[in-house]
Structure 1
Amino acid sequence: MKKNFTILIIIIALAIIVTILLLGFKPTTEQFKDADGNIIEESIAIIEEVELGNMKQWITIRGKDTSNPVLLWLHGGPGSPQMSLAHELDGKLEEEFIVVHWDQRGAGKSNHSDFDDQTMTVNQFKNDAIDLIKYLQKRLNKDKIYLLGHSWGSQLGIELVNDSPEYFYAYIGVSQVVDSHRGVKIAYDWLLEEIQHNNDQTSLNKLAKIGVPPYSHSQYRDFAQLVNLYGGNLDIHLSKLALISVKAPEYTFLDYYHLINGMNRGGAPLHQNGEMLSINTIKEIPSVEIPIFFFNGKNDYNTPLVLVEEYLEMIKAPQKDLIIFNHSSHTPFLKENDKFSEKIINIKEQMDF
């Protein structure tokens, strides 16, 4: 027994060593090269740590041509960065934009060992974002940028656009947060109907234990797992996401520990006394000064399509549109990536100055 245990420990240790060697100790990002293997002179491909809101945070800046405009991606969560997925998803976008991914404070590479999660406030995230935008303006010699926000990032994004429209050409809200309380109620009614239709007593018991909305943050996390089980949230299995993520040269072995830690924390520090934030952009942001475009999955019950349609109908903007992804839920960039990229590029082509 003791011998078998020793062998097991050795195997685990070897597996850890191999994993570390494969993932590396130093983050890198792949360069853009021509047919002869030479780095394309006008391209940019960097990963770096910059100071935002008096805290070191990580970004990648990638584009085949630095004359292209900047597209800044605000990830969801908080705690669910896109940087480790970009190598799989951003190929077409990097042909037409300088794509910037940012691991926000408390997420991924920016979830440092000594991170103070009490700094996770909406205002702090907004201030961090403005610091980053100003840095990109100077670093890349750009007057304005395109802003994309997904899920939590769409809450952040629409507020930035409302507060500081002078920084942006246009805003793309992917799975736009509209009315948090109504959204959960819509999702609850849909989920209850789906569970009953499938005679799923196990899920029905879980839902009964969670109760009816409004929810605390911890209740909502349990509820969201059921929504995901019935296809209303993530569009691909977490195991597939993990397989994509571990191939990212931008992430080291230790970064994945910080990534998982940040995802497990989620947005809990944002919710005082555990109560979910009350968000209602219909009331709070009835108009914006720049073009806006909403991207939403037809089957999304994290940020339900019906609310996004309602918001688009009432919001005043110089230009507005809704692109529906009929085969997607909350993450159309995963399920319908080609269409997703093409629609973003179409927006740029509409607005080329």
Structure 2
Amino acid sequence: MLGHRALRRAGGARQLRIDSPNGIDEQRFVRIGGIEQWISIRGEETANPVMVEIHGGPGASHSIFATRTRSWEAHFTLVRWDMRGAGKTFGRSGPQGQGEMSFDRLCEDALDVTRYARERLGADRVVLVASSLGSVFGLRLARSHPELYCAYVGTDQNILDAGRDTSVHEALPARLRAAGKHKEAAAVEEMGRAPHPLTADQRAAYDKLTVASDPLTLDTLKRVVLRSLWFSPLHSLRDIGRYFAGMKFSARLTPALAAFDDRADGTRFELPFYVFQGDRDVITPPERARSFFDEVAAPVKEFALIEDASHFAAFRHPDRFLHLLLTRVRPVVSGAAGGSRAA
């Protein structure tokens, strides 16, 4: 098993090699928000648009998907960042060295990473791509700082409404009962009756049940997420252990999100606004993302479904996601005329 892993990692390392004369391949720790945080900058042509990615989780670094998204780097300079509490940043200094773990602190970190990328690459503004929990940060960054971002792209778009819409929670026990998991369904309903937001431990249990309740989501977790982590040429066995430890550590962020309300924060964005969502996502359903999208006012806005995709849609179908980036986003951020459409 380890021999097979070594062969796959060696092949992945060859795949990631960038030899173009104007390319860039940097992975380093940068001092962000008072601690050393891991940032990767990769692309085959530094004149391409810069794309800063905000990962989800909490603590689920996207650096594990480097080989799956290799084709993106021919068209964009991709900036990936392991948030404090996540991945290589967590591994650098452990739980005691992460400093303040709060939503506001991570938002400030994201702004500092954006400014670092702009300065390092000489870019006036960058494309902001935010996924899952990262899209909670992404909406606020895009709304408040159009001077830094030339477009917002949300995928696995998370829409928070202070708990008003309970459809996602209600759908989970229904799926569990349909699968004959009545005890698990009762446990989910008990969480919902609690008079307080879910604790970090409850949230972790809830997320596991959500994944187990949907065959496509479970298949994506196994074939896309875990396989990418296991074969990543950027991650040693020790890094893999730290990856999971970082996710557990970062779970402390989630209880505070229960009070967030995206509509109350505003639906006007002074930049092009895109949502590319998995059509079968049960974690961040496309219906909720589309409902919010319909209320958004933006200079350009577009919504598209990625077919046969659950959560992690961009990584299950990276070529389809790239096609959307190239046909809908890049013409606008490159100065070409763009319109507003949905599909």
Q: TM-score with structure 1 length normalisation?
A: 0.83
User: How far is 1:106 from its partner?
Assistant: 0.7
Are 1:95 and 2:74 an aligned pair? Answer: yes
Write the deviation string for residues 192-247 of structure 1: whole angstroms up to 9, x where unpaired.
32233344334334434544476413323222222111227565133653332233
The percent identity for this pair of structures is: 23
Partner of 2:117: 136
Partner of 1:352: 334
Once the two structures are superposed, the pairs formed by residues 66-145 of structure 1 within 5 Å of their partners are 66-87=46-67, 89-111=68-90, 112-116=93-97, 119-145=100-126
Q: Measured at CA, do residues 139 and 275 of structure 1 come closer, stay the same or move farther in structure 2, by a change above 3 Å?
A: closer
Query: 1:235, 1:328 within 8 Å by CA — same for their partners in 2?
Result: no
SS in structure 2 at match of 1:165: coil
Hey, what's the Cα distance between the residues in 1 that align with 2:307 and 2:141? 28
Query: 1:234, 1:329 within 8 Å by CA — same for their partners in 2?
Result: no
Query: 2:197, 2:258 within 8 Å by CA — same for their partners in 1?
Result: no
Are 1:54 and 2:38 an aligned pair? Answer: no
Candidates 248, 255, 258, aligned match of 1:277 = 258
Q: Which moved more, 1:312-321 or 1:253-262?
A: 253-262
Q: Considering only aligned residues, what root-mean-square deviation do their CA atoms show, in Å?
A: 2.9
Q: Measured at CA, do residues 223 and 296 of structure 1 come closer, stay the same or move farther in structure 2, by a change above 3 Å?
A: same
Partner of 1:262: 246
Once the two structures are superposed, the pairs formed by residues 228-307 of structure 1 within 5 Å of their partners are 228-231=211-214, 233=217, 236-238=220-222, 241-268=225-252, 270-271=253-254, 274=255, 276-307=257-288
Q: Measured at CA, do residues 158 and 28 of structure 1 come closer, stay the same or move farther in structure 2, by a change above 3 Å?
A: farther
Partner of 2:177: 196
Letter in 2 for 1:78: P
Q: Which moved more, 1:296-305 or 1:74-83?
A: 296-305
SS in structure 1 at match of 2:46: coil
Partner of 2:198: 216
Hey, what's the Cα distance between the residues in 2 that align with 1:323 and 1:313? 12
Q: TM-score with structure 2 length normalisation?
A: 0.85
Q: Measured at CA, do residues 19 and 192 of structure 1 come closer, stay the same or move farther in structure 2, by a change above 3 Å?
A: closer
Query: 1:187, 1:227 within 8 Å by CA — same for their partners in 2?
Result: no
Query: 2:16, 2:66 within 8 Å by CA — same for their partners in 1?
Result: no
Hey, what's the Cα distance between the residues in 2 that align with 1:341 and 1:19? 27
Hey, what's the Cα distance between the residues in 2 that align with 1:136 and 1:119? 23
Query: 1:172, 1:294 within 8 Å by CA — same for their partners in 2?
Result: yes
Write the deviation string for residues 145-199 of structure 1: whole angstroms up to 9, x where unpaired.
1000001110111111112110111000112221254487211221232233344
User: How far is 1:28 from its partner?
Assistant: 11
Letter in 2 for 1:252: S
Q: Measured at CA, do residues 284 and 208 of structure 1 come closer, stay the same or move farther in structure 2, by a change above 3 Å?
A: closer
Any unmatched runs of 5+ in structure 2? 336-343
Q: Measured at CA, do residues 44 and 323 of structure 1 come closer, stay the same or move farther in structure 2, by a change above 3 Å?
A: same
Any unmatched runs of 5+ in structure 1? 1-14, 33-38
User: How far is 1:127 from its partner?
Assistant: 1.3
Query: 1:76, 1:150 within 8 Å by CA — same for their partners in 2?
Result: yes
Q: Measured at CA, do residues 189 and 349 of structure 1 come closer, stay the same or move farther in structure 2, by a change above 3 Å?
A: same
User: How far is 1:93 from its partner?
Assistant: 0.8
Query: 1:29, 1:46 within 8 Å by CA — same for their partners in 2?
Result: no
Q: Which moved more, 1:67-76 or 1:196-205?
A: 196-205
Are 1:153 and 2:134 an aligned pair? Answer: yes
Q: Which moved more, 1:56-65 or 1:230-239?
A: 230-239
